Amino acid sequence: MNSNPFLQVEVVLLILRLVAGPTIFWHGYNKMFRGGKIAGTARWFTSMGMRPNGTIHAYAASLTEMGCGVLLLFGFLTPLAAAGVISLMVVAGWTVHKHAFLIAKDGFEHVFLLATVCFAIGSLGAGRWSLDRAFGLSEYVGYFLGCEWLGMLITLVVGIGAGTLLLLTCYRPPAKEAESNS
């Protein structure tokens, strides 16, 4: 049996992008256009302690999710798209999904899984069937096992850094939550 392990990795990366991209996009679309729309999302963000204005964060989160979802789907600027999702998951994990592991108990399993999948995609690159490859960008982000760690560094440093910076500058937990954590 003569199989090509690199082709297998290409197929896996494509499948991951085809699942992760639309999933992330749908989260943003829901915040923007469904349920309570931006106004409801803004009230929710304000209630959890996002300052100075929940509307700013509602638009930022929605547009980032939709934009990163599309970029991941098509495999364009992949480490930056993955970093954007990781940043969102850092904020979501810290503000909402911190009470347990299972999401049924407000846990972080969902955000952890999405962040990990995006870490893998951003680190390895989008693969053969991507806009990064079509435009020659994949050589600059350590395409596969080329030992060029740039894709992984961009994904982790920008993703975790942006999420952490947003939390430090804009997250002020409501008083009763702050008291119960003391």
Q: What pTM value is reported for the model?
A: 0.87
CB atoms inside a 10 Å sphere around CB 51: 13
Task: With CA atoms as reference, report the closest residue to 92 among 157, 27, 178, 181.
Answer: 27
CA distances from 44 to 50, 96, 112, 180 (A): 9, 10, 21, 20
Single out the residue of 66, 5, 1, 60 nearest to residue 30, CA to CA. Answer: 66
Grade residue 87 by pLDDT with cuts at 50, 70 and 90: very high
pLDDT, one tens digit per residue, over 22-38 is 999 999 999 999 989 99
